[in-house]
Amino acid sequence: MNIPAAMPKKSSIYLMERLFAGYLKPYRGKLFAAVFFMLIAAATTAALAKLMQPVLDDVLYARNSDMIMAVAGAVLATFVLRGISTYFHTVIMSNISQSIIADIQRDLFRHLMILDLAFFHANPSGQLISRVTNDVSVVRAAVSDTLTGVGKNFLTLLLLVGLMLHQDWKLALVAFAISPITGGMVAYIGHRLRKVSRRTQDEMARLSDILSQIFQGVRQVQAYGMENYESTRAGGAIDKVCALNIKTSRIRNLSTPVNESIVGLAFAGVIVYGGYQVSENVMSPGQLASFIAAFTLAYEPMKKLARLNSSLQLGLGAIERVFEMMDRPPGVQQKEGALTLAAPKPEVVFTDVRFQYDGAETQALKGISFRAQPGKVTALVGPSGGGKSTIINLIPRFYDVTGGVVNVGGHDVRDLTLESLRKHIALVSQDITIFDNTVAANIAYGREGASTEEIERAAIAAAAHDFIKGFPEGYETIVGENGVKLSGGQRQRIAIARAILRDAPVLLLDEATSALDNESEQAVQKALEALEKGRTTIVIAHRLSTVRAADQIIVLDQGRIVETGTHEKLIVAGGLYAKMYQAGLRE
């Protein structure tokens, strides 16, 4: 697709070029077939107008009975052929348009999946869902209407105008003197619709975001008696969408009274001029009737083309938002010629690492340096906001460092392919994601293609097998959105089973046992101890009792390492760790 570099990315020409030239190419064969049937349908419409002349002149006016059956048969055959050709081109074009939209949705979703965490933190999930569903639905209507309607209506109009020029070119000029006025009206309405479409999609995204927040937090909404507040908030967003849709309808139909009046004027002019031509025997009644039939039939595709422009402008407003999202470069990018990590026991090394979140005034990490060795457990502890989770996020390259180097298996993580890097890592976070699927599918998320036996072994190791077997459908139980049918401890044990099944050489545990009761925590702690053997393990823990056995404890405060050592050495040192540990025991 060759798009001029200087062409504005918001121009209609650029958007249509990218939409149709970029996505229509794989369906060119089907398109040619559809155009063939469109041409037949358009020709039959012009033929019907032409048949009005023999109907009047040869059958009615001349009273030639021999022509009745021939003309009637020709009319019937024309209608049948038009119906068949219309069916085929409509079905084919619908197939093409739906396929194009599916391709756009796939491309958009695939692009969203490679964007970094910072992007998802800045864009609420409800708005992203709106881009993939609401925006693309508007584009679907525009593409379907445009592909199906433009070809047939344009060809029909072209052939009918040709017939009118053939009948009487002066009369045709009288009929189409209105074209500049109607064209100007179409352009004006299209411009206004494009602007309204953009605003409508913005408000739809906002509504989706509000609804997503409310549904996910419905427990808190009901617990705090905020039903009326949330209903009012959602109602306000709904009212804005409603008002914009009403405005869209008003603008789309603005042309109707003007166009009808103008066309009526042209029709009257045709009758006056044509009537005098017939009275002076310049043209026959049949010729005038055929011309009027052609003009009447041409008026319909003219109106449809005007409406199609309205639909297209609405779609362009939506596709502009979609392309903006697809053109957004990922904050974390894989360099060309990146290396594939193949380290059975990789070491993780931070060297003078600094990091600052977008929009933050201060750095989250300020010169962090440490070494996490294979087969050993490195624990990160310290007050909230110290930078522990940021360190965990930098290892799989959810973010890129502002300064310094994160090294895994002897390589800067920025020199590695994202796929190979992340295949070496298993992550269990306190923010657990459980999908609305079966228990087995949630555990198997840790490794594609895992067998039933492997899934069960992982669940047993995570102390999850017993409660899973207690479900009515066992491992095939659907757990609901975000595991709503599970307790906090059950959700965490499934997440741990997922990490155990992954069997990765680098293990990242972010408060992995925080939601477990004492009995379950002891069982899972034993499973984690077995899992940690031979692996490079980095643990975040707020309950310091869970990291006493760590080989190395790193104490963080305000983005800096303030202490490093074993539990015993740090207690003897009497620093921040000792104070935190004693405070935990008192609690």
Superfamily for domain range 12-326: ABC transporter type 1, transmembrane domain (1.20.1560.10)
Q: In the chain, what are the domain boundaries?
A: 12-326, 348-586
Ramachandran assignment for 395, one of left (phi > 0), alpha (psi -120 to 50 degrees), beta (any other): alpha
d(CA 553, CA 546): 12
Q: How far is CA 222 from CA 211, 227, 229, 327, 345, in A?
A: 15, 6, 11, 40, 49
pLDDT band of residue 358 (cuts 50, 70, 90) is: confident
* pLDDT of 313 strictly over 80: no
Q: What is the mean pLDDT of residues 253-280?
A: 67
Q: What is the mean pLDDT of residues 405-426?
A: 93
Span 180-197, pLDDT tens digits: 666 666 666 766 776 777
Q: How far is CA 114 from CA 107, 133, 251, 508, in A?
A: 11, 19, 39, 21
* pLDDT of 91 strictly over 80: yes
Say which CATH class 348-586 falls into: alpha beta
Taking alpha carbons only, the member of 389, 401, 420 closest to residue 332 is 401
* Residue 360 CB coordination number (10 Å): 9
pLDDT value of position 66 = 62
| Contact in structure between 335 and 415 (CB atoms under 8 Å) | yes
* pLDDT of 491 strictly over 50: yes
Q: What is the mean pLDDT of residues 11-28?
A: 80
Most confident of 84-98, 396-410, 445-459: 396-410
pLDDT value of position 63 = 59
pLDDT value of position 587 = 46
Residue bearing the bigger pLDDT, 559 or 256:
559
Residue bearing the bigger pLDDT, 487 or 403:
403
pLDDT value of position 586 = 44
Q: How far is CA 238 from CA 241, 247, 249, 251, in A?
A: 5, 14, 17, 20
Average pLDDT, the chain: 80
Instruction: List strands edge to edge, sheet with 425-428.
Output: 425-428, 506-510, 536-540, 377-381, 552-557, 560-565
pLDDT value of position 448 = 81
